A and B are shown apart, each in its own frame.
Chain A
Amino acid sequence: MTAAVAAPQKPRRQYVWAAFAAPGVGWLIAFFVVSVYAVMAVAFGAVDPLLKTPIPAWNPLQWDTTAMGNVLDRVFGGDLGHVFIRTFSFVGAALAGCILIGYPVAYYVARKANRWRGLLLGLLVLPFWISYLMRMLAWTNLLQLDGYVNRVLQFLHIQNDPRNWLDGDWSTVVIGLIYGYLPFFILPLYSTLERIDGRLIEAGRDLGANAVHTFLRVTLPLSVPGMMAASVITILPMFGDYYTNTYLTSGSPRTEMVGNQIEYYLRGSSQPQTGASLVLVLMAFLFVLMVYYLVTTIREQRRSER
């Protein structure tokens, strides 16, 4: 019965586990790696002069950087620069809103809610199961000229005339982004705050710090990794979002984001290279965030295996 614990170092065994991973790895290479490479091949390729369809350049030695050069000129100092600045402003404002609302909520549910915790946690998870666009649809209902938002504001005499919220108003877009992405921000933060050892907070109190001081010196620093993870996981998809703003402003050019330009150039124009180049520029901007997430996740994996 004590059969020398099935020799875990047997090299043959490695092949078995590699074989388990192989179909998934193969799938990701075929449909993810090749796809991303296709974006590069199109960005650095040519366009058929008659059909206006892309002629991808698969060989990196034949890459033509004209389209990319044009895009970079337009991003740094040209018309696309405004779109990038607007995108960064919207995402920044939405992230600030997520932190301002999300942190207290996550903190309360994780550490103070006591007997309400189960119910509140369920209610925080609920938006995950409601389709994102249905949640946006709900807002377009509320924000109509004769919708409930205007009626409440008029009833409270905050404004006298109904406001046209859905006509290219940047505040509608930012509020929409906050509304849409807050659930994704709160949950990772919640799990970090919930895991903080209560004895550390108690120690802070016992050593004479008041509640505010204990929060600032103990809880807040311990929750920074969770806040970073939550922020990264929220703003990465926000940077590529083009449907929230389009949906909430009926496609007003005043609230156009990078995603709109990408979609336009790839699907509605004769310059697919420009769209593909924009995708690469966006990815370059987000590279640091993506690497941060990968490194922390892999570190976390290693720790849990130890």
Chain B
Amino acid sequence: MNPFRRRHGKAPVLAMLTWVYVLWSLLPVLVAVRISFNDGKSRSAFQSPSFRWYWGDPVSSVWHDDALHTAMFNTLKLAGLTVLVATPLGVAMAIGLQRWRGKLSNAANGLMLVPIVTPEIVFGVALFLVFSQVYMGTPDGLTRQLLGHITFTVSFVVVIVRGRLAAIGTQYEEAARDLGASRWQAIRLVLLPLLSPAIFASVMVVFATSVDDFVISSFLSTGASTETVPIKIYSGARAGSTPALNALATVMLAFTLLAVALAAFVLRAISRRGGDTEMGAAGGLAGLTG
């Protein structure tokens, strides 16, 4: 243990503040989850527990209300497809930008970083206008939302993967090349396995960002059939809504947490199988020479 910390002991005021903050940040969400199990129509007070707003209610439960489960499937489809395109695109771009040298490369690197600092409303407006003025042939709704989400998330993948690439260095690949691997083999058998933790982290971040997105989906939405869960929650505030919205949000929360837990589990399995970085590379090299 760090001697500094031992000498100073705990900081009771800071500790209390931190725990109060943690409670404050999570308690409202727990209350919202609890209200989703409310038997009554109230969104503010809990009456008695039931699954009415999940499937019990024949009209407005998540299971029976078409608009609600359409929004859910739209959100999951959009997030899944965004992950499938943005991740490979971003990983390739990260490898390229990390090694390609020169003025053009610096420009490309700068371009990659700009979307991260662009406020979402600028993104939403820009995509809204480009699809209505330039790429007018793009099918409405999901396709446009998908292209928008990929554009919005690809830079996150690049930044996460580049961080890992910088830590790995080039020596493992060079060793593989010395042992007779072609460049493609070195990338496929050595580099990609070493990158897998970063790739999984990217998948989690892209998935969560896409599920979370409201502005871009909303600007590119063309009506009820292209609404996502955040759009549904947003518009529900005005039209006197029921705890079915809480139920919908709770289902999405369960999906996201499950996906994150699964990804964390896989990540741990990979790092255990491969040991640390050294071991992972050694495994890759053994596969090459064997």
Contacts and interface: CB of A to CB of B under 8 A. Distances in A.
The range of chain A's interface size is: 35 or more
A134 B252 contact: yes
Given A18-B96, A130-B29, A243-B234, A290 B114 contact: yes
Nearest to A248: B237
Given A35-B126, A104-B14, A205-B4, A14 B249 contact: no
A50 interface: no
A19 B133 CA distance: 30
Interface stretch (B5-13, B50-58, B62-70): B5-13
B105 A134 contact: no
Contacts of A272: 129
Interface residues of B, number: 104
Given A35-B126, A120-B22, A183-B25, A304 B166 contact: yes
A216 B158 CA distance: 36
B127 A31 contact: yes
Contacts of B117: 232-233, 236, 289-290, 293-294
Interface stretch (B192-200, B209-217, B272-280): B209-217
A103 to B, nearest CB: 10
B125 interface: yes
Contact of A114 (B5, B45, B118, B249): B5
A201 interface: yes
A56 B14 CA distance: 55
Contacts of B155: 28
B290 interface: no
Interface in A58-113: 101, 104-105, 107-109, 111-113
A23 interface: yes
Contacts of B14: 104, 107-108, 112
A129 B44 contact: no
Interface string A18-39: 1111111101110111111011
Contacts of A31: 127, 130, 147-148, 150-151
Given A131-B212, A136-B233, A147-B45, 15 more contacts: A39-B122, A107-B14, A113-B15, A127-B25, A131-B249, A135-B28, A236-B118, A239-B119, A259-B121, A262-B121, A282-B119, A289-B117, A294-B114, A297-B113, A298-B109
23 contacts: A1-B179, A8-B170, A21-B95, A21-B96, A23-B89, A25-B111, A27-B150, A38-B126, A38-B134, A41-B133, A129-B256, A129-B257, A131-B233, A133-B249, A141-B44, A148-B44, A198-B2, A205-B7, A236-B117, A275-B125, A276-B125, A294-B110, A305-B166
Interface of A: 1-3, 5-6, 8, 14, 16-25, 27-29, 31-36, 38-39, 41-42, 53-54, 56, 101, 104-105, 107-109, 111-114, 120, 123-124, 126-142, 144-148, 179, 182-183, 198, 201-202, 205, 211, 232-233, 236-237, 239-243, 247, 250-251, 259, 262-263, 266-267, 272, 275-276, 279, 282-283, 286, 289-290, 293-294, 297-298, 301, 304-305
Interface of B: 1-5, 7-8, 10-11, 14-15, 17-18, 21-22, 24-26, 28-29, 31-32, 35, 42-45, 89-90, 92-93, 95-102, 104-105, 108-123, 125-130, 132-134, 147-148, 150-151, 154-155, 158, 162-163, 166-167, 170, 174, 177-179, 183, 208, 211-212, 214-215, 219, 229-230, 233-234, 236-238, 245-246, 249, 252-253, 256-257, 260
